[in-house]
Structure 1
Amino acid sequence: MTDRPEDQISTRASLLAIPLLIGAVVAVGLGVFARTHAAQHVSWHGPFPSMVSMKVWLTVAVLVFAAIQLVTALWMYGKLGIASPPWLGKVHRASGGLAFLTSLPVAAACLWVLGLHSTDTRVVLHGLLGCLFYGALVAKVLVLRGRRLPGWALPVVAGVLFTAVVGAALTSAVWWLSTHGIPT
């Protein structure tokens, strides 16, 4: 006796719950940490003149890498109407890895140094989007490795990831640049 096609589709879709649940645990865990952690008020900012400067410029770099991710993904999926060159997958993976690595000092500053202790709507939204970004990133990596998941799962999870990173950047670096100008 074999499974009916609709049962196979349902089973494949239900497998998506696993990476989504793991991503949700990561996002909620980061949010709980940020909310309950006492801010450390460390002034680490590496080679940048200030912590604000570090966060703004690294976030802008993450946005650039996210844009590269979007364009290369659309290109690989044939949505740009241009044949995909063989090296494009490497560019896509590299830009994703660089986006993640570049985001880590920003996340460390947000989570460890500042925490999420605000009633300001923009700051709370930024914190939620930042947590969603890392949860969606974990989910995307797991979906990417899941061979039995439905074909639509990767673009949907990647879309959530892209939306989260753009939203987090809009409520932080882009807001800072438009409100205060170039940080010093």
Structure 2
Amino acid sequence: MVYERARTRPFLILIPLLIGAAVSVALGIWGSVHTPTGEVPWANPFPSIYAFKVWLALGVLLLAAVQLVTALWMYEKFGLRRRPWVGPVHRTSGFLAFIVSLPVAAACLWALGFQTYSARVLTHSILGCIFYGAFVAKILVLHSKRLPGWALPAVAGLLLATVVGVITSSALYYIATFGLPK
């Protein structure tokens, strides 16, 4: 649903963005100082940590696609009338994408840590941290009535871009290199 906003103050977008940046930096620092375990006890029944991460990341990517389509539908970008079920589908798919992403991110940070040994891995580490900061910023913007109407789509676009970047630099790279995990 598109909300009627009170008198907007565009500069206030800095607050959720700075809070999101703080979350991103905190995750990156923790991932850098934590000693990686190399193991993920919660990855069973998958045969490997990589199979676990790839399959769940593909689920997140599918849910992100549902998010994009339902958001565009809610903003009437398809020329279709808004339907009463589109908003609940959008919120549910967003909630599920976030929930499914958590064990993957925990596996990355816990078992592998913040890695920098190649450009792809560094990009993945950075985007993974930014994703959760962008998520926090989106939730804060979503609940604000003082931000301009463009703020929510802009922050949601950042969130979508980071999730696509994270999954491209990991799961899709893995599939392109090794094929689908069994």
Larger Rg: 1
- Paired with 2:130 and 2:102, the residues of 1 have a C-alpha distance of 14
Who is 1:144 aligned against? 142
**Hey, what's the Cα distance between the residues in 1 that align with 2:18 and 2:82?**
33
Offset, 1:36 = 1.4
* Aligned mates of 2:45, 2:139 — CA distance in 1: 31
Give the TM-score normalised by the residue count of structure 2: 0.93
| Displacement of 1:171 | 0.2
Superposed CA RMSD = 1.1
The one-letter amino acid paired with 1:34 is G
Q: Which runs of 4+ in 1 moved over 2 A?
A: none
Percent identity of the aligned residues?
A: 55
Mapped to 1, the partners of 2:82 and 2:126 lie a distance apart of 35
CA–CA separation in structure 1 for the residues paired with 2:115 and 2:122:
8
Structure 1 alignment gaps of length 5 or more:
1-7
Q: Say whether residues 1:24 and 2:24 are aligned partners.
A: no
1:35-50 matches, within 5 Å, as 35-44=32-41, 45-50=43-48
Distance 1:41 1:178 in 2: 23
Unpaired segments of 5 or more residues in structure 2?
1-6
**Partner residue, 1:113:** 111
Report the AA paired with residue 157 of structure 2: G
Task: Give the paired residue count.
Answer: 175
Q: What is the TM-score with the length of structure 1 in the denominator?
A: 0.92
- Greater Cα shift, 75-84 or 40-49: 40-49
Name which of 79, 84, 87 aligns with 1:86: 84
**Secondary structure of the structure 2 residue equivalent to 1:69:** helix
Listed as ranges, the matches of 1:1-184 within 5 Å are 12-44=9-41, 45-184=43-182
Deviation at 1:148, TM superposition (A): 1.0
Equivalent-residue separation in structure 1 for 2:123 and 2:76 (angstroms): 34
Q: Which residue of 1 aligns with 2:4?
A: none
C-alpha distance in structure 2 between counterparts of 1:117 and 1:177, whole Å? 20
C-alpha separation in 1, matches of 2:115 and 2:98:
24
